Chains A and B, each alone.
Chain A
Amino acid sequence: MKKKNKKQKSEFDFCKVCNRNHDEGQRHKYFPSHTNSLSKFFSRFQNKLTEVRFFLKNPSFLRLELASRNRLWCVFCDCDIDELGSSFACQNAINHLASGDHLKNLKHFLWKYGGGMDRVDAFRISQADIAKWETKCKSLKSEAAPCGGTSQGLQSGLSNDIHKEPDYENLNNYEKNTLHHLNSNISNVVMPLQQHTNEYQVSRLEHSGVANVGSNMHVITSTLSVDPCDGTSLWNANNLMEAGGNVHSGAPPPWFEETQGDQLNVQLNQVSTLNKSGKLKLNPKRVGAAWAEKRKMEMEMEKRGGIVKSDCDPNWLPNFGRVWQSGSRKESRKEFEFEKQKQTNVHSLSEMPMEIKPYVSKRMRKIRVFKMRIRSELVD
């Protein structure tokens, strides 16, 4: 007889879509619960991509203060895409979605979790689209800064988009400017600007010999951006350095003013003290409240003063209402003690030692008594 192995248990695998582990193997992606979760999953990511697509069609400059807020988590590649260092809105995201790696991961995801290969185009940006976007960006740049060709190119190369494939156009520019060696350092490292971009400082940095990529960046920007129309790069550096500190230096955030902070601290302290002192506010009217309070005091006295409290009376009995008793509980105690006394009396009586004597008849007893009287008279 052929044994049909219906339930082939495969190893446990984690489904990113359903967010749970399962041992259904390849069959899992066909289950209705999974397909439901998958459609929700895709629609969620699509919503996030609508913004990116908008900026793909209408590129616009990205202001630095907004750059830190923009980030996208790519669910197919399991990576975070932030916009630090990008000059256009969603630049890094667009570049990522157009990259080959992303396409590869997307295809793998669709194979693993189902959803149909026709969805590929919905979650990526084709080469044609990105080419169009880039031309639009260039035209925007040229409109904004007519003389900043090389430095802008440099800036895009300086972006900390580690997922971006090397931009060969910009590399060629660097070769021309003999800054190729610096590019290889900069394009792979993300360093926050730490010092003011000042010509005096730059010279100091050079002399200090600190092999800091950040400082190198400053060198480039200061040497290249001599013209006032290249204010963008200078402005970037200066703007960041105005605040006393930043996230990396551990400074408090600007919305958290000093006054507010103090108030909050005070409030927190109050809350913590409340928690410690009033654990449970017991009802003063609870059963045996008076007894409890009294006993607590006694125990505290014993602990503190080391007073050795005399042990309770061996005859102490708790407050107990007996089964067939009516009336107050004191009466039950009295009853019990009365019974106790009775019992002890009975015991004491029964405890008298019984002597065993031989039988003596009445006549013999009389004779004995008579004899004892004569003896006693003779003695007296």
Chain B
Amino acid sequence: MSYLLTTLTKKKEIDTIIRDTIDKVLVLRFGRAMDALCLQLDDILAKSSRDVSKFADVALVDIDSEDVQVYVKYFDITLIPSTVFFFNAHHMKMDSGTADHTKWVGAFHRKQDFIDVVEVCYLLFLSNPLNWIMPSIQIVDPGSVDIIMVA
């Protein structure tokens, strides 16, 4: 499904999209187009990208391209697919039940789960003031995505 969403292969492109997405949540998926789990996630992202288009932008990053390796290392991407959330060029942490709060690892079960996450992210980022602790979202059960907001 990567032909439905913008795929980024260069650091410059990633920089541009991070810097130019203003007042909207930016969802960056790091993965490979041919990987099975990535395909699953891409399917959900592609289907829901229009629904969330008013408050979120979705883009895919191909981790196999050389230019992108900087980011792969910077974001510590070891498992794919990994989804990183940004808001106004700030990276947003999310507690999804794992030790790694910097990204969401894996796919979503349903389209609605993804939409819920993004929606809550947006509302939280919009309402909370900028603290030295970035606002984080705690997801209690990643399977059903019951979201409890923790500022």
Q: What CA separation (Å) do A232 and B19 show in the bound complex? A: 81
Stretch from A11-19, A55-63, A180-188, A286-294 that touches the partner: A286-294
Contact A292:B22 (CB < 8 A) given known A318-B89, A322-B102 = yes
Q: Does B20 contact A (CB under 8 A)?
A: yes
- Inside 8 A of B87's CB, which chain A residues have their CB? 287-288
Main secondary structure of the interface of A (DSSP, over half): loop
| Other-chain residue from A282, A288, A316, A339 in contact with B90 (beta carbon distance below 8 A) | A288
A291 touches B88 (CB 8 A): yes
Q: Does A285 contact B (CB under 8 A)?
A: yes
Smallest Cβ-Cβ distance to B127: which chain A residue: A283
- Inside 8 A of A336's CB, which chain B residues have their CB? 73-74
A288 touches B93 (CB 8 A): no
Contact A314:B75 (CB < 8 A) given known A286-B128, A287-B90, A287-B130 = no
A295 touches B128 (CB 8 A): no
A289 touches B91 (CB 8 A): no
Contact A296:B22 (CB < 8 A) given known A286-B128, A291-B90, A320-B74 = yes
- Inside 8 A of B89's CB, which chain A residues have their CB? 288, 291, 295, 318-319
B135 touches A323 (CB 8 A): no
For the side of the interface on A, what is the size category? 20 to 34
- Inside 8 A of A320's CB, which chain B residues have their CB? 74-75, 91, 102
Smallest Cβ-Cβ distance to B131: which chain A residue: A287
B126 touches A288 (CB 8 A): no
Considering the complex, which residues of chain B in the window 46-77 have a beta carbon less than 8 Å from any beta carbon of chain A?
70, 73-76
- Give per-residue flags for A309-342: 1 if the beta carbon is below 8 A from chain B beta carbons, else 0: 0011010111111110000110000001001100
Q: What CA separation (Å) do A10 and B1 show in the bound complex? A: 43
- Give per-residue flags for A262-304: 1 if the beta carbon is below 8 A from chain B beta carbons, else 0: 0000000000000000000011011111111001100100000
Interface centre among A285, A311, A321 (most CB of B within 10 A): A321
A287 touches B12 (CB 8 A): no
B19 touches A322 (CB 8 A): no
Contact A287:B19 (CB < 8 A) given known A321-B91, A321-B102, A323-B100 = no
Q: Does B132 contact A (CB under 8 A)?
A: yes
Q: Does B92 contact A (CB under 8 A)?
A: yes
Interface size (B, Cβ < 8 Å)? Answer: 35
Smallest Cβ-Cβ distance to B90: which chain A residue: A288
Q: Give the distance to chain B from A264, nearest Cβ to Cβ, in Å.
A: 32
Q: Does B129 contact A (CB under 8 A)?
A: yes
Q: Does B35 contact A (CB under 8 A)?
A: no
Q: What CA separation (Å) do A191 and B81 show in the bound complex? A: 75
Smallest Cβ-Cβ distance to B100: which chain A residue: A323
B75 touches A286 (CB 8 A): no
A317 touches B74 (CB 8 A): yes
Q: Does B18 contact A (CB under 8 A)?
A: yes
| Other-chain residue from B15, B74, B88 in contact with A287 (beta carbon distance below 8 A) | B88
A288 touches B76 (CB 8 A): no
- 18 extra A-B contacts, CB within 8 A, seeds A287-B130, A320-B102: A285-B128, A287-B129, A288-B125, A289-B130, A290-B130, A292-B23, A296-B22, A317-B74, A318-B15, A318-B18, A319-B89, A319-B90, A320-B91, A321-B91, A321-B134, A323-B76, A323-B102, A329-B91
Provide a sorted-by-A list of 12 A–B residue pairs whose CB atoms are within 8 angstroms: A282-B126, A283-B127, A285-B128, A286-B127, A288-B88, A288-B89, A288-B90, A288-B130, A316-B15, A320-B75, A321-B91, A322-B74
A-to-B contact residues, CB < 8 Å:
282-283, 285-292, 295-296, 299, 311-312, 314, 316-323, 328-329, 336, 339-340
